[in-house]
Amino acid sequence: LLEDVTSTVRGTPLRVERQVFTGVSTDSRNIRDGQLFIPLVGPNFDGHAFIDQAYIKSGGGSLCQKGKEGACGKAGGTIILVEDTTQALLDLARFRRLQLPTFFIAITGSNGKTTTKELLVRIMTGYAQTAYNERNNNNQIGVSQALLAIENQPQYCVLELGTNHPGEIALLAGLVAPDLSVITNVNASHLEGLGDVAGVLREKTSLFEGTKPDGVIFINLDDAALRPIAERPARRALTFGITNSADYTLSIDKERGLAGFDIRLSLRGESVATTTRLLGMHNLYNILTAAAIASHIGVPPRDIAERVASFEPYPGRFHAITSKKGYTVIDDAYNANPASMEWAITTLDKIPCNGKKIAILGDMKELGDKQEAYHRELGTLLKKSNLSAIIFVGDEMRAAFKAINNGRARIFPDIASLVEHVSGIAGRDDIILVKGSRAMHMDKIVEGLI
């Protein structure tokens, strides 16, 4: 209703044509009939330029940020003037959240957020109607859009929350008001904005503080930074771990190389065996986290096991692909930080292989003044590895290259020359890992090799 919108966003109607809206949209390209358009403003874009286009498709109306009235004067539909359209989006998302009786689950952490979320949603499919934020739309805009996109009254909603500066998780927790929350892990990520690992911990644990007072928090007992929280939790706490005794645990029955693992889940006393095609210990933690939450809310262990077994790896997230030439490319190109680099290299080192093991690594970004030190540490780790060849791309990787200081390592100035070189040395039984920060466009290397 127009009255609800204006009061929620503290807005002033400039023109009233439509009194009832079917929803809201921030994208004029896919706005639906009767929706209210929210023109967001950023450093390099201004949604006010698309108000007319949005109205033609929706017949609804639009918010208008103060100072932008000139862009709204000729537009059709209802126009509501607000101080800031981004804040208005957040306010409407919070209003929608308060309308819903839905049980909200929030996931954050330095690594594993998206895979854990997607696993949990897959496990809950068939058990209960579940809404979620797609892909990694985990900032204040993406989470707000996900809340506003919720239709009807689903029993559950699973939301991934991300951050790269202090206060963002607290803001998102305030929006979501989770009934259950989990932090997958805490390590050196987004240090440019968060300073150091202690800053990451402070930022991530604000999710626990923002969880409903009668809610439950899940604590990873294998994470040294998070373990102390279990001793004096601010909320009811449940624990999970692989190397430490916990409420929910996972053990490995058999490692199957590139085929994954046979595993056993212990879900509060009930043990169930399953298999997974996901590779690496880091993914076993993602499985355990999702399984623990699903078990807590009542999904039967047998159903959890079946859905874990059917879950396919996502592109860009340690996804093994057989190339036309017969070698295997492990596509881990989505992103990278020091911990995820270590996990990826350790996993590659352990996988049985009849050919060469090659790591293609790009810069790790957003590490602030510790950038060079972390790349140098990576080089030291790689020097101890059994990898046949180590290929670098990016200016920051020069520190890692210098730390290795032997013939196994090479550094390339660009992706094209790198792909040409690796294509020339790769054989049928080789395994090639591709990993780096998103800004390095490592996915182009994957495309060039497969």
Mean pLDDT along residues 92-117:
97
pLDDT tier for residue 73 given thresholds of 50, 70 and 90: low
pLDDT at 377: 96
Question: How many angstroms separate the CA atoms of 345 and 429, rounded?
Answer: 18
Question: How many angstroms separate the CA atoms of 152 and 100, rounded?
Answer: 9
Which amino acid is present at 312? E
339 and 188 in contact (C-beta within 8 Å)? yes
127-143 pLDDT tens trace: 999 999 987 789 999 99
Rg over alpha carbons for the chain, rounded to the nearest Å, is: 24
Residues 6+ apart with CB under 8 A from 80: 2, 5, 6, 9, 11, 12, 13, 14, 61, 62, 63, 64
Instruction: For the full predicted model, state whether its pTM sits above 0.85.
Output: yes
Nearest Cα to 239, choosing from 214, 266, 263?
266
Nearest Cα to 332, choosing from 302, 360, 310, 312?
360
β-partners of residue 401 are none
Question: How many angstroms separate the CA atoms of 3 and 130, rounded?
Answer: 29
206-250 pLDDT tens trace: 999 999 999 999 999 999 999 999 998 889 999 999 999 999 999
CA 208 to centroid of chain Cα atoms? 18
- CA angle, 128 as apex, 285 and 247 as ends, to 5°? 35
In terms of DSSP H, where are the helices of 333-431?
338-350, 371-384, 398-404, 415-425
CA 218 to centroid of chain Cα atoms? 18
163-179 burial: b if 16+ Cβ within 10 Å, else e: beeeebbbbbbebbbbb
Q: Between the CA of residue 418 and those of 328, 425, 442, what are the distances in Å?
A: 17, 11, 11
302-315 pLDDT tens trace: 999 999 999 999 89
Question: How many angstroms separate the CA atoms of 323 and 387, rounded?
Answer: 20
pLDDT > 70? residue 316? yes
pLDDT > 70? residue 271? yes
- CA angle, 364 as apex, 440 and 181 as ends, to 5°? 110
pLDDT tier for residue 122 given thresholds of 50, 70 and 90: very high
CA 162 to centroid of chain Cα atoms? 7
Q: What percent of the chain has pLDDT over 70?
A: 100
Domains defined along the chain, listed by start? 2-83 (3.40.1390.10), 100-310 (3.40.1190.10), 319-449 (3.90.190.20)
322-370 pLDDT tens trace: 999 999 999 999 999 999 999 999 999 999 999 999 999 999 999 999 9
Locus of tokens 């919108």: 5
Which amino acid is present at 179? D
171-217 pLDDT tens trace: 999 999 999 999 999 988 888 888 889 999 999 999 999 999 999 99
**Cβ neighbour number for residue 40 with a 10 Å cutoff:** 18
pLDDT at 136: 78
State the chain's mean pLDDT as an integer: 95
110 and 184 in contact (C-beta within 8 Å)? yes
